[in-house]
Amino acid sequence: MDNRQAIGSWLSGPRSTAEEMGVDFGYPGERLGLPQQGPGSVARFGRRAAALAIDWGACQLIAYGLITGGDLNATGNWTLPLFLVLVLLTVGTLGFTPGKRIVGLRVAAEGGGRLGFFRVLLRTVLLALVIPAVIWDRDGRGLHDRLARAVQVRI
């Protein structure tokens, strides 16, 4: 391997280098037995981010209008606890938050079906820590989903 190939493989990253060597990573969700596209496929980042923005915005509006009486300084203190309660209650009972429903997503157990209460609780606590939610595996699942054995899928 000459210098250009060595530098090129370093710049393109380990995944692209592995693919050039013949490793097949498949599509996101293939290891979980999910379809590549359509209902039941792994939710992509854009939809998940949109659902998060909708849910966070709704919690900010509730905190601003109903809890703090319009005090902007106190609104930020209430948004995260409201968001966590929203996620815990709605994912635990319905399988989706209002934002996820609007963008067409739901949270399911790896083998299908709903998550149990303790898995939803674990997922919510890890989501509150933020870092597990921004570390993804090759299926596009956050560490919080992976540890709770959950997957966000399209509906």
**Which is more confident, 113 or 91?**
91
Residue 63 CA to residue 66 CA, distance in Å, equals 6
Q: Where are the domains of the chain?
A: 32-154
The 10 Å CB-count burial string (b at 16+, else e) for 46-58 is ebbebbbebbbeb
Q: What is the pLDDT of residue 128?
A: 93
The reported pTM is: 0.80
pLDDT in tens, 100-141: 999 999 999 998 889 999 999 999 999 999 998 899 888 889
